[in-house]
Amino acid sequence: MSESNPNAPSEQCVESEAAASCIEPTRRAVLTALAGCACLAAIEPAAADDDEQPGASERPQKADVLVRAEGDKASQVIKSDDLTLGGPPIRAWPQDPKTSVVRKGSRLNEVVLIKLDPNELDDATRARAPDGVVCYSVICTHAGCPITAWVKQDQGDKNVLKCLCHNSEYDPRQNAQVVFGPAPRRLAALPLTVADGAITVAAPFVGKVGAQQGG
């Protein structure tokens, strides 16, 4: 009769350990897979950014609303009452009212809004400026810098839009014509309308948007 080894594991223990050895790798694989999924979920955004969504790079369309481009109210719809007569200007993006996509996929879509006295506007400007709100491309036609200043005209007493890169100035009352500096042409204008207080696009840009080639 063979003597049993009291230190030897029982058949039940051996079977349990064998099962555990089979289960453990599987469990580890599952946990590893789950961890990998969690990492991917953390890396990949829940939704595409506005500038990557369909329509984000398209030029402003008729009936687009205008939303603020900067500040603590960024992305809020702009209403005529939000603008102060005589400035300062508000920078804005067009937004598709159906999909809510902001068309900021192209920097050429950014515009600047200013509320002016309608009596100060020439006929062409007044025709597309409801409540005296004018809207122009924010891109200087000289070298493509964004227009960031609203200052007294160098040779006058009224404020004008100014590009600080090379000091080109544009008169928003006169269809954004160049009144100073090297810019070769006026800013592109965006015709507007007002619906329920909200400022909306009435038609595509009038004039070429952006800088002159080689300028």
- The per-residue pLDDT for range 65-116, each reduced to its tens digit, is 999 999 989 999 999 999 999 999 999 999 999 999 999 999 999 999 999 9
- Share of residues in the chain with pLDDT > 70 (%): 74
Same domain, 187 and 99: yes
The token pair at 195 is: 């619906």
Answer yes or no: is 140 within a domain: yes
ω into 88 cis (within 30 of 0): yes
- Band (pLDDT 50/70/90 cuts) for residue 23 is very low
In a domain, 214, yes or no: no
Q: How does the average pLDDT of the chain come out, rounded?
A: 82
Is residue 89 assigned to a domain? yes
Question: What are 27-64's pLDDT values in tens digits?
Answer: 444 444 444 444 333 333 333 455 678 889 999 999 99
Domain co-membership, 98 together with 161: yes
| 155 Cβ contact list (under 8 Å, min separation 6) | 179, 180
- Is the same domain home to 21 and 92? no
CB 134 within 8 A of CB 114: yes
Q: What is the pLDDT, as a whole number, of residue 89?
A: 96
Q: Which of 19-23, 144-148, 150-154, 199-203 has the lowest mean pLDDT?
A: 19-23
Using the predicted structure, report yes or no on whether residue 182 has a pLDDT greater than 90: yes
Do 20 and 92 belong together in one domain? no
* Measured distance between the N- and C-terminal CA atoms of the chain, rounded to whole angstroms: 105
Laid out side by side, the sheet with 169-171 consists of 149-152, 159-162, 169-171, 177-180
Task: Tell me what pLDDT residue 51 has.
Answer: 63
Is the per-residue pLDDT at 12 higher than 80?
no
Give the model's pLDDT for residue 166.
95
- Residue 8, pLDDT above cutoff 60: no
Residue scoring higher pLDDT (12 or 192): 192
pTM: 0.75
pLDDT recorded at residue 178: 97
Identify the pLDDT of residue 181. Answer: 94
The answer to whether residue 4 sits within a structural domain is no
Query: In terms of domains, do 22 and 65 share one?
Result: no
Secondary structure class of 56 (helix, strand, coil): coil
What is the domain range of residue 144? 50-201
Q: Are residues 130 and 110 in the same domain?
A: yes
